[in-house]
Structure 1
């Protein structure tokens, strides 16, 4: 009886030793792998879901390509996603969760400018580099935050290009702005006002709206009665589509303009006939005759059976910038990654040749003025953002 009991104890001890040895080997093997964890925050549900979903798909495509072809050398990329619903509070919480629980080394976030402004407080405090491929609000890179970068086109570039085109190419002289009341919309309103003054146009009305509003007719009547020839909208695609429809219902004879925040297929679907001819800025067109664009679009369509959106193209480029940074730095340490991102050069990507200025803006982008023609966006004019 005693011998049997000793034998069982011996076997139990032996089993524990074997399990611990295997666990140690497994942990040692894992520690030898060079893994870079990328946290991705965006609105995969809510009013700007199409933008966040496009971002996620493009990130997944880029991560798989880079790992398959070992484009980051010995480093393997892993993406961890969080849905912020376009809500700044939820976005900040999601960013903190990725840093504290998922132990990510770099953050791709977010789409909505108000969300990015919340996120960047978290990443700056944690000392984690953050790149936003979708948020264009000018204030994002005006705060001296050394951890924030942007691969979307700064709103200041967009506002200037749109107003200049309206004046010099279309001969428009009297305009109105109609902007969302959030950080994104009000940043755009300020930049539009500056550009309108710069190019000598007359601003006859500047109403605002809240995201989620359904009735825009009171503001539109004011715009009509003040004799505006054009309306510059600054917001997202759902409200832009409603404004387009209600402008048509009221018989407004105006040219509609918009920024990249509304550059999604949903704008065309929801706006219908009323959105035809709407002019807006973006950094990507899927039918552009550019080799890098053609290759990206082909791969994206093969995987998802749809065209990528500009926010997706920018997110795709962002992952390649991160892969290049970890390859050059050969480190997942935050400061090394940040410095390598800042010194990005020599990449030929889908939306341009990324180069970051002192504020963290990518000034190597192609900024496109496009218009809705049928079921797609067509190119009118291209600008450099430098």
Structure 2
């Protein structure tokens, strides 16, 4: 009799444990179903590491705020990061890893335009929405890819704004372009040329350079001999700083211009006196007198003890756009997310009021023409999207 009682007790304990285990599994499954997994690809090492590191910090800040305040409704956001070193091959491999191994529902990638172009092949094939907060190459949104979105100001907008400013505000007529030989630089070169022709100016020289080059003097001497009044750079901050220094060393009297790809504190640090007065476009200034900007900068400084960079601000906004999309779609299904992203509206964010056109470009982006003065980028003019 005693043995039977013991057996019944053991069976009862097993039954209770089994019920609890099933309940735990059910709860875990329910929790898992309400987690949106975001893959993030960017250069956290290599020549544009500051951009990738700034992107990561801003994304982590946004996710912590959104989850804490339940701004994605019943959904919790989780990020998975991969370093692509700015290399297209590594970037596409990282994107594939995030989709296949981390099972991400949406991808934020990448910063370098050539890397984004490589990633797009992977995300389109997998049917996963991809948002790039840093890549500005015009060709990214010109390929009819229904899965790509961009929260950076595209290069066509930037090139037009810079050339128009050079003509109307500075009265310059003879211009040179000096661009990196990669996808980003050559896209910029083409758009600058188109804008120069549009505004009836003269393009006197258009040399290129390779990323990693150290000596730019032969191209600069050619530009000087052809009588250029300004040089429009299209590349990243490392080469832009070196070029600025060599322009100064050669005594070339020109106005230097650049695009958002080089908008980093590193440009000011590496360029020194030679970078002073360089005019460039970007979408964010940490000292802007805008409530959303002030709030973001204060929180970012409190967490990281440094000011955010434009790429970080755009990445921060990107996470909020994704949170809004999953809240409205109430689904992690990639197609539902893509459709919700297309309908983005009514958000007041750090870099503007996002809205995507048919190509996936954010047409609510605020573009700023700025100048390096001292250790800061100072606002010259704000330009509305055409």
- Settle same-fold status: TM greater than 0.5: yes
The Cα shift of 1:18 comes to 7.6
SS across alignment from 2:367: strand
Q: Distance in 2 between matches of 1:17 and 1:190?
A: 71
Provide Cα deviations, 1:170-209, integer angstroms capped at 9, x if missing partner: 0000010000000000000000000000011111110000
Provide Cα deviations, 1:207-253, integer angstroms capped at 9, x if missing partner: 00000000000000000011100000000000000000000000000
The Cα shift of 1:15 comes to 9.6
Q: What aligned pairs does 1:43-122 form with structure 2 within 5 A after superposition?
A: 43-122=43-122
The Cα shift of 1:24 comes to 3.8
Q: Distance in 2 between matches of 1:363 and 1:272?
A: 34
The Cα shift of 1:29 comes to 1.0
- 19-28 vs 285-294, which moves further: 19-28
When residues 18 and 186 of structure 1 are mapped into structure 2, their CA distance, relative to the original with a 3 A threshold, is farther
Please, which runs of 5 or more residues in structure 1 have no aligned partner? none
The Cα shift of 1:385 comes to 1.4
Q: Distance in 1 between matches of 2:100 and 2:160?
A: 40
When residues 91 and 23 of structure 1 are mapped into structure 2, their CA distance, relative to the original with a 3 A threshold, is farther
The match for 1:246 is 246
SS across alignment from 2:381: strand
Please, which runs of 5 or more residues in structure 2 have no aligned partner? none
Q: Distance in 2 between matches of 1:234 and 1:273?
A: 20
The match for 2:27 is 29
The match for 1:313 is 313
Q: What aligned pairs does 1:363-378 form with structure 2 within 5 A after superposition?
A: 363-378=363-378
SS across alignment from 2:280: strand
The Cα shift of 1:309 comes to 0.3
Q: Distance in 2 between matches of 1:208 and 1:153?
A: 23
The Cα shift of 1:148 comes to 0.2
SS across alignment from 2:36: strand
Q: Distance in 2 between matches of 1:19 and 1:379?
A: 65
The match for 2:147 is 147
Where do 4+ consecutive residues of structure 1 move more than 6 Å? 13-20
Question: TM-score, normalising length from structure 2?
Answer: 0.95
Q: Distance in 2 between matches of 1:101 and 1:139?
A: 29
The match for 1:324 is 324
SS across alignment from 1:245: helix
Question: TM-score, normalising length from structure 1?
Answer: 0.95
Provide Cα deviations, 1:292-338, integer angstroms capped at 9, x if missing partner: 00000000000001110000000000000000000000000011100
The Cα shift of 1:28 comes to 1.6
The match for 1:186 is 186
The match for 2:266 is 266
Q: Distance in 1 between matches of 2:22 and 2:198?
A: 66
SS across alignment from 2:243: helix
Residue 132 in 1 paired to residue 132 in 2? yes
Q: Distance in 2 between matches of 1:18 and 1:172?
A: 82
- 355-364 vs 14-23, which moves further: 14-23
Aligned residues: 379
The Cα shift of 1:80 comes to 0.6
Aligned residues: CA RMSD = 1.7
The Cα shift of 1:152 comes to 0.1
Provide Cα deviations, 1:84-109, integer angstroms capped at 9, x if missing partner: 00000000000000000000000000
Q: Distance in 2 between matches of 1:20 and 1:184?
A: 58
Q: Distance in 1 between matches of 2:14 and 2:254?
A: 78
Q: Distance in 2 between matches of 1:16 and 1:134?
A: 55
